[in-house]
């Protein structure tokens, strides 16, 4: 059987600029190490779809300047903030397009 394990760098390299990412809202197991590597490699212009909302994962990518559009019903930080601060700031400044999928 082929080995399916890979490095973090190789996994993140699969996410190209202009790609669409689909993530769930979950403060308990967001793939933050992978998302940090996606940002480090310079990926930009992502369209992020938040299934049942978005949380720190989406707010982080927006704040890092990697996102052009977010398609979700909400971006929060769970019990810590009603709205993701990066998401709110970037949408209000017109730097990210917010698409409502409620």
- Cα(8)–Cα(27) distance, rounded to whole angstroms? 20
Query: Does residue 16 have a pLDDT over 90?
Result: yes
Q: Please report whether residue 50 resides in a domain.
A: yes
Predicted pLDDT of residue 28: 74
Q: Please report whether residue 83 resides in a domain.
A: yes
Q: Please report whether residue 75 resides in a domain.
A: yes
One DSSP character per residue, the chain reads: -------HHHHHTTS-TT-EEEEE--SSS--HHHHHHHHHTT--SEEEEEET-B-HHHHHHHHTT-EEEEEES-B--GGG-SS-HHHHHHHHTTSSEEEE--
- Cα(47)–Cα(40) distance, rounded to whole angstroms? 17
CATH number at residue 42: 3.40.1080.10
Q: What is the pLDDT of residues 33-87, one digit of tens each?
A: 999 999 999 999 999 999 888 899 999 999 999 999 999 999 988 888 889 999 9
Predicted pLDDT of residue 1: 77
Q: Please report whether residue 43 resides in a domain.
A: yes
Query: Does residue 4 have a pLDDT over 90?
Result: no
Q: What is the pTM of this model?
A: 0.91
Q: Please report whether residue 79 resides in a domain.
A: yes
- Cα(53)–Cα(76) distance, rounded to whole angstroms? 8
Q: Please report whether residue 10 resides in a domain.
A: no
82 close to 76: Cβ distance less than 8 angstroms: yes
- What is the number of structural domains in the chain? 1
Q: Please report whether residue 8 resides in a domain.
A: no
Q: Please report whether residue 54 resides in a domain.
A: yes
């Amino acid at each position: 059987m082929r080995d399916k394990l890979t490095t973090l760098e190789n996994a993140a390299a699969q996410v190209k600029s202009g790609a669409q990412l689909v993530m769930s809202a979950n403060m308990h197991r967001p793939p933050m190490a992978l998302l940090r590597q996606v940002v480090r490699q310079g990926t930009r212009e992502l369209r992020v779809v938040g299934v049942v909302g978005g949380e720190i994962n989406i707010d982080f990518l927006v704040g890092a300047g990697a996102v052009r559009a977010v398609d979700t019903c909400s971006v929060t930080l769970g019990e810590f903030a009603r709205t993701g601060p990066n998401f709110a700031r970037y949408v209000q400044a017109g730097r990210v397009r917010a698409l409502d999928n409620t």
